[in-house]
Structure 1
């Protein structure tokens, strides 16, 4: 029997091809028609697997989200759990920066994101954080990670020495930043993460010290 002239479509194949196109060209440049052309099929063939492009991107978002590790929140060390979560979250987004705007939008409607949020909130509240603080911690980590993943501070500088050395004397070495952008960005992320955790630890100790028997602090 002759082989089919078009590939056998599956959700996994469509996801993989779409993500590759998004990584290379960006979200706005990728349409169902372009995805179909890349697969060697007609666009209607895709709709038996995904009703809309939005549904396809949601599935890709869930796939990326599965690499984010929130297992630490099952244990007793909430700081180490946050470290593991934040680092794997950043790695997942940094691997696909063109997907970050979509990943950052409406995460509360996606099953993988909801399961992660449930694990994080549950772990923090079990550790003694009041629910409101647990929610704010989750939001704060999201701000730190997305800010780190979506742009490069060091990569934004010109690598020509003449750009800075006369007009901006305090930036006389700024032309070297792009060369070390990955290292600086990674270390900058670790600096803010550890500073954030240090501040949280102080707040945690303060909250615990003000609790009294029968207090409602942990539930507000």
Structure 2
């Protein structure tokens, strides 16, 4: 009886991207090379280039995958709802894959999906009555907030040892508790900052509507 030889699963773009994202998540951008990716997939590096001409092309595809669920639809409900939903969903996408943030942080370039999201955000603000120049700055300000939250954890900067703070830093005497609540504190702090941004913009919006 002839025993069939095991076959390697068909190589396609979705399988390549899944393996590449796993490498980036585990080891960062420096951990991803076409040679290492080929080894992880048990294929030759040459076979990868049939699907993605360069590593840069592959990274752009990963960025598109990670951002696929970012929500810009809420701008149909108003600029405040749209801004909140977009910012929160963008932060969630970045938090899931923080080591890919340097790639995502770049301008949309020529990626159709990224350009469409930029169109949705800018268009949602302009259609609501914001002047184009201010709409651009609002979008940028929100992205600064989101990417800052995605690239740094306030809570992670504190140690869990109470003796480190108790005597020399009386106003930080409870800082040792922060690390244990890190995820909650970071999330609620981001929401706090986003709320204050929207509140400030609300006043500016009212002034614009009254011709101030």
User: Common fold, TM-score beyond 0.5?
Assistant: yes
| 2:26 equivalent to 1:27 | no
| CA distance in 2: counterparts of 1:108 and 1:55, whole angstroms | 12
Gaps of 5+ in 1: 212-220
The equivalent residue for 1:146 is 147
| CA distance in 1: counterparts of 2:162 and 2:77, whole angstroms | 50
Residue 109 of structure 1 aligns to a residue whose secondary structure is: coil
Cα distance change, pair 3–82 in 1 and its aligned pair in 2 (3 A):
farther
Query: Which TM-score applies when normalising by structure 2?
Result: 0.95
| CA distance in 2: counterparts of 1:40 and 1:2, whole angstroms | 19
The equivalent residue for 1:8 is 10
Write the mapping of 1:60-209 to structure 2, written as runs, cut at 5 A.
Answer: 60-73=62-75, 75-209=76-210
| CA distance in 2: counterparts of 1:163 and 1:153, whole angstroms | 17
CA offset digits 1:74-121 (Å, max 9, x no partner):
x14110111111111000000000001111023233221100000111
How many positions carry a matched residue from both structures?
A: 210
Moved segments of 4+, more than 4 Å: none
The equivalent residue for 2:20 is 18
Residue 89 of structure 1 aligns to a residue whose secondary structure is: helix
TM superposition shift of 1:183: 0.5
| CA distance in 2: counterparts of 1:139 and 1:65, whole angstroms | 17
Query: Which TM-score applies when normalising by structure 1?
Result: 0.92
CA offset digits 1:18-73 (Å, max 9, x no partner):
10111111111111111111001111110000001100000010111111000112
| CA distance in 1: counterparts of 2:169 and 2:51, whole angstroms | 56
Give yes or no for contact 1:124–1:134 (8 Å, CA) kept in 2. Answer: yes
